[in-house]
A and B are shown apart, each in its own frame.
Chain A
């Protein structure tokens, strides 16, 4: 009897993550095709529609980029915390908080000029995201409280804060008692870029570039990477872990908050409790696929944005939009499997304890 054992390769194959991502994409499309065929759809037609709607026209490309913005910023928020080995699962809530902060500015700044209003909204959203991450950051840095659970719980709280406001103080008097906020003023709309794309695409790219530079090139980012790789080495170099934990979680929340503000001014007519639309969770997958590296995030985010835009376009073919979410999860699953297979090789070893044939005798070490 033989059984497979995974043995770690001495060196990870070069370019393996890009390959794993592509492999994940292929696996996801294949599984998706099976699902589509089983439910009586033609996968070629469906995938063709998804492609043409997301990449086939200027407008489509714009929509794809717009979708990619909150995905990328959420992914970036997760990635910067991940650089230090921390999990910010609260991007969903921080996006909501950011949108809320921006919406609040729009309420008090109705008379301001458009550039001033939009700038103030983006700043307010960033601060609101930071504030939403403050509790988990303090608890982690001060008491070592697991940040995964605290940030996760605050997602659900954020949804309810928005719901509370929409049912009360922020309810549109003209809404016939429906719990919706009034429309944003025209001055609060982010200017367009090309086609349907808005200026948020540029802002997101600038922030990503900035974070990439900070993480990879600045002294602060260097300290972050040292602390993420080895606590004792960081301590020896005189780096305070607590302060790093606190600041990186706050920055992470701020980035997600900015994402929420951009989504509000760029894509939404008004704030709703669904404005985050799962971006925070999808952002975790984006960051994982990008291996927490900021510069790899835009590519992954654009693919995910395209999948989402394509997903909504196929509804006219009678295919549910949830295909997009299924594909996203399967891309990750496929990439994880491909990644493991590339980092390890499979070896077959004997299962019999006292097998004198000598098959199990070769060195277990990497000879």
Chain B
């Protein structure tokens, strides 16, 4: 039972959570008052998801206190958190596609005997109460993303969650659906429930939320701000922080040559079958680094996959080093001079179960053939050359690639891709998750490429990195390349506001 004396629904104090090589939460705090909607803001990697996973019982914190409704808690599984009244709607929905809406809602919390009509009626009544229109008898696979989200919220309500965590709930919604969601969560708050709303979109935070807590680098940098009092630009500044010291000095400018990559009116669908890249026009010239900033999930992944040839375009032209590559397979692109550093290093860039050598030759193995066989010694020498040139720390080149650390994986991947004397380097989040040394080394490699007259397209969520390295900077939002900035003059607040989708960013 809630402790009536405490008006805090959630109190997190000094939460630490470390993963191998990464500190995700470094003493984060959060206080959510009962009956309010509380925004949790922060850039990717700021530790929001980890903190919410701690609150919902997915992770156990290394240190710190967790108080729900005035009672100290320690969760060892999501079921414990549910029992304590904490429900979470993850970005990746936890639904069974072949089950009906009602079956999904009651899963794990149904009567022993299931009377389908009775369950449907009760789910229907619950949905009506909160204005969550959903036909309880329809299978979930037929529903839109917005409808599926409502099913997730219904699941939490069915279990009478007193605290509901929504992880970037509007990412999958149309603007109208998002407004509707705002109304639904307000109704829940009015009933005395508490809602934690994770978002990057400051206009929504302003419109829906009462208070906001900002995380950066795993720490809470501003706690329980009154959203009505504070300007969105100030929130954006808090999210991106002051100029970081972790990035190298801005490299000296370099003369720019002819275009190596030209995108004209390129459209593509995302994994959910919705437009994810809309009318992209972009030119990258020899000898320049073009940066793409933006909150993740705004079409950056699709932009990279379209250029690399892993996602088909629905329209538009892509000219790479003079070759029209739209609709052509990936190999045509790397023959034309593309080097690709994908966001998923292990999986897309590297084959995790194979050895370092096998991964090193992925691009060039056809050149290392001797008859039908691979020239093993030549492959090994090639790999050892990469290892030495790019400073990859590796015990034995025949070890599984999975045994390498993140920084060394990235060095090997970069080394492999750069070894073919590329005309264009496409790097997606190349420094994410690396330590300071690793970040510097990778950044230097990109600058070296630029200085060798290669075009570089750098997609990153690290604004400091982009402001330092990029010669030109675009912001991506909702699948569009929004605005072009000059990194030497643009302010962090301007860019932050454009990233957050605030008005007045176009120029």
* CB of A230 closer than 8 Å to a CB of B: yes
Given A236-B330, A363-B62, A219 and B351 touching (CB < 8 A)? no
| Chain A interface, >50% SS class | mixed
Given A366-B20, A367-B18, A230 and B73 touching (CB < 8 A)? no
* CB of B83 closer than 8 Å to a CB of A: yes
Given A217-B374, A219-B369, A364 and B59 touching (CB < 8 A)? yes
* CB of A123 closer than 8 Å to a CB of B: no
| Cβ-neighbour of A365 out of B18, B350, B354, B363 (below 8 A) | B18
Tell me the complex Cα distance, A233–B345, Å.
Answer: 10
Tell me the complex Cα distance, A367–B19, Å.
Answer: 8
Which of B348, B353, B363, B373 has its CB near the most chain A CB atoms (within 10 A)?
B373
Given A236-B340, A355-B74, A230 and B351 touching (CB < 8 A)? yes
Tell me the complex Cα distance, A11–B20, Å.
Answer: 14
Residues of B within 8 A of A361 (CB): 60-62, 74
Q: Which residue of A lies closest to B16 (CB)?
A: A363
- The 0/1 profile, CB within 8 Å of B marked 1, for residues 113-151 of chain A is 000000000000000000000000000000000000000
* CB of B230 closer than 8 Å to a CB of A: no
Residues of B within 8 A of A355 (CB): 74, 76
| Chain B interface, >50% SS class | loop
- The 0/1 profile, CB within 8 Å of B marked 1, for residues 197-230 of chain A is 0000000000000000100011110100110111
Chain B min CB distance to A349 (Å)? 7
- The 0/1 profile, CB within 8 Å of B marked 1, for residues 51-66 of chain A is 0000000000000000
Chain A min CB distance to B17 (Å)? 8
Tell me the complex Cα distance, A135–B307, Å.
Answer: 37
B74 touches A219 (CB 8 A): no
Residues of A within 8 A of B349 (CB): 233, 236
Residues of A within 8 A of B274 (CB): none
B358 touches A226 (CB 8 A): yes
Residues of A within 8 A of B91 (CB): none
* CB of A317 closer than 8 Å to a CB of B: no
- The 0/1 profile, CB within 8 Å of B marked 1, for residues 231-249 of chain A is 0111111100000000000
B373 touches A360 (CB 8 A): no
* CB of A353 closer than 8 Å to a CB of B: yes
Residues of B within 8 A of A351 (CB): 76
State which residues 20-43 of B face A: CB under 8 Å: 20
A235 touches B74 (CB 8 A): no
* CB of B308 closer than 8 Å to a CB of A: yes
* CB of B403 closer than 8 Å to a CB of A: yes
Chain B min CB distance to A6 (Å)? 16
Chain B min CB distance to A231 (Å)? 9
* CB of B352 closer than 8 Å to a CB of A: yes
B358 touches A353 (CB 8 A): no
Residues of B within 8 A of A228 (CB): 353
A230 touches B348 (CB 8 A): yes
Residues of B within 8 A of A217 (CB): 373-374, 376
| Cβ-neighbour of B73 out of A213, A234, A354 (below 8 A) | A354
B60 touches A364 (CB 8 A): yes
Q: Which residue of A lies closest to B399 (CB)?
A: A11
Q: Which residue of A lies closest to B73 (CB)?
A: A354
B374 touches A222 (CB 8 A): yes
State which residues 343-367 of A face B: CB under 8 Å: 349-356, 360-367
State which residues 72-130 of B face A: CB under 8 Å: 72-77, 80, 83
- The 0/1 profile, CB within 8 Å of A marked 1, for residues 58-75 of chain B is 011110000000001111
Tell me the complex Cα distance, A360–B77, Å.
Answer: 11
Tell me the complex Cα distance, A223–B76, Å.
Answer: 43
Residues of A within 8 A of B60 (CB): 360-361, 363-364
B365 touches A219 (CB 8 A): yes
| Cβ-neighbour of B354 out of A225, A236, A350 (below 8 A) | A225
Given A11-B403, A363-B62, A225 and B358 touching (CB < 8 A)? yes
* CB of B244 closer than 8 Å to a CB of A: no
| Cβ-neighbour of B362 out of A218, A233, A353 (below 8 A) | A233
Tell me the complex Cα distance, A263–B19, Å.
Answer: 55
| Cβ-neighbour of A233 out of B80, B83, B351, B372 (below 8 A) | B351
Q: Which residue of B lies closest to A361 (CB)?
A: B60
Residues of B within 8 A of A364 (CB): 59-60
Tell me the complex Cα distance, A235–B362, Å.
Answer: 11
Chain B min CB distance to A230 (Å)? 4
Which of B83, B348, B352, B369 has its CB near the most chain A CB atoms (within 10 A)?
B348
B331 touches A238 (CB 8 A): yes
Q: Which residue of B lies closest to A237 (CB)?
A: B362
Q: Which residue of A lies closest to B58 (CB)?
A: A364
Residues of A within 8 A of B80 (CB): 353-354
State which residues 365-391 of B face A: CB under 8 Å: 365-366, 369, 372-374, 376
Given A353-B77, A361-B60, A222 and B348 touching (CB < 8 A)? no
Q: Which residue of B lies closest to A352 (CB)?
A: B76
- Given A225-B354, A235-B330, A365-B20, 4 other A-B contacts at CB below 8 A? A218-B374, A230-B350, A237-B330, A361-B74
Interface residues of A (CB under 8 A from B): 11, 213, 217-220, 222, 225-226, 228-230, 232-238, 349-356, 360-367
Q: 24 A–B contact pairs at CB < 8 A?
A: A11-B403, A219-B372, A219-B373, A219-B374, A220-B372, A225-B354, A230-B351, A232-B344, A236-B362, A237-B330, A238-B330, A238-B331, A349-B76, A351-B76, A353-B83, A354-B74, A356-B72, A361-B60, A361-B61, A362-B62, A363-B17, A365-B19, A367-B18, A367-B20
> 5 shortest A-B CB distances, which residue pairs?
A238-B331, A229-B351, A353-B80, A229-B353, A230-B351
